Amino acid sequence: MRTAFITGASSGIGEATARALAARGLHLTLLARREDRLQALAESLAKAHGTRSRIVALDVRDAAGLARLAKAEPDLFAPDVLVNSAGLARGTEPLQEGNPDEWDEVIDVNVKALLRITRLCLPAMLRRGSGHVVMLGSTAGHWVYPGGAVYCASKHAVRAITEGLRMDVHGSGVRVTSVDPGLVETEFSEVRFRGDKERAAKVYQGYQPLTAADVAETIAWCVEQPAHVNVQDVVVMPTAQASVTMVKRSG
Ligand code: 8X3
């Protein structure tokens, strides 16, 4: 029985990845804050694919909660695949107008929580000599755009962590992949614009953005490669996007 541990599993790319991996026969540990959404997802996957899901209703930043859980249920932290999908951005203000509390939130979730969860799952993978850590990077981890200094810094950090981890576990059989999407229509922009749905919708207007399912299929493709194949990094953008600042919109 293959298992995947997915953070940020209640929505967006995390939820779509749960669906894509369940369809390929993996059983799941689903971590996110919103228990009702995790419950509904687990029920629908059980019905559709017979998937067994464990639900972990926790804020991914809750270090003490994670440590307690790892002690009580170490098996949860021994998945075949870890997908670090939890992540967010806040605002597009220039740095000089930024909110340091929001910087903390972005860095704590995108970087520190990702490190902590990965750290918790690695010992079992290394003992087994197999396992796959998938990071949700971003095009923002390759290129910086105006108003994106802190978010781009967090995703550049994810890229550095991915590369560093790959070297640290080299020779162990553990694979490390980063999937780095451009514009994907999810709740990402609504969160970034602090609940402003109208402004969020404009980000995806006039062209066909990626869907969460598009990215989930990319992740599933990476995971399904034979054990000797490690897809190191996949950058995926909508066809209408040529760079982080170039999007061809109609009208
Ligand atoms: C999300 C892509 O361009 O909004 O990681 O930063 S972008």
Q: CB-based contacts of 106: which residues, under 8 Å, 6+ apart?
A: 88, 89, 90, 150, 151, 154
Nearest to 18 by CA among 233, 223, 236: 223
Q: What is the DSSP string of 112-134?
A: IIHHHHHHHHHHHHHHHT-EEEE
- Active-site residue, 207 included: no
- 23-42 per-position pLDDT tens digit: 999 999 999 999 999 999 99
The whole-model pTM stands at: 0.98
- 64-79 per-position pLDDT tens digit: 999 999 999 999 999 9
Which domains occur in the chain, in start order? 3-247 (3.40.50.720)
Of the residues 145, 151, 204, 207, which is catalytic?
Answer: 151
- 9-28 per-position pLDDT tens digit: 999 999 999 999 999 999 99
| Structure tokens belonging to residue 14 | 């995390």
CB under 6 Å to ligand 1: residues?
138-140, 148, 182-183, 244
Residue nearest to ligand 1 atom 5, measured at CA: 138
Q: Are 85 and 129 in contact (CB under 8 A)?
A: no
What does the alpha-carbon distance between residue 211 and residue 127 come to, in Å, rounded to a whole number?
A: 36
| Structure tokens belonging to residue 75 | 């098996």
Report the DSSP beta bridge partners of residue 28: 4, 53
| Structure tokens belonging to residue 148 | 């994106």
